[in-house]
Amino acid sequence: MRRIIALVDSLPLSTIGTVPCPAGGAGIQLTFRARSGGPPLATAQDGPCFGLLFSIGGRQQPALQVTPTFTARVLAIAGLRYRN
């Protein structure tokens, strides 16, 4: 988990903000909790056409810029595989 947190923390602020995505699709959603089953401390939602939407304590923060490999890196750290 710490490696995923460090990866998100290393992302710069998005220079493009959020943009409409005609292609649709879904990225990944991360929920950070202090303990299993506890309330969310922060959430991050990645999508195919925008930066990482990030909130802390339910308050939206500025979007973060992700690289094309962000989702694959998160999944690799978590030991998960993406299936189409």
Read off the pLDDT of residues 10-63 as tens digits, 9 standing for 90 and up.
999 988 755 566 555 567 899 999 999 999 999 999 865 668 888 999 999 988
CB 14 within 8 A of CB 65: yes
* Residue 40 is assigned to a structural domain of this protein: yes
* Residue 53: both structure tokens together: 């939407």
Range of the domain at 6: 2-14+27-78
* Residue 60 is assigned to a structural domain of this protein: yes
* Residue 22 is assigned to a structural domain of this protein: no
Side chain identity at residue 29, one-letter code: Q
pLDDT at 71: 86
* Residue 48 is assigned to a structural domain of this protein: yes
Which tops the pLDDT comparison, 82 or 46?
46
**Total structural domains within the chain:** 1
pLDDT at 21: 61
Q: Which residues of 44-77 are buried (b: 16+ CB within 10 A; e: fewer)?
A: bbbbeebbbbbeeeeeeeebbebeeebbeebeee
pTM (predicted TM-score): 0.78
* Residue 47 is assigned to a structural domain of this protein: yes
* Residue 33 is assigned to a structural domain of this protein: yes
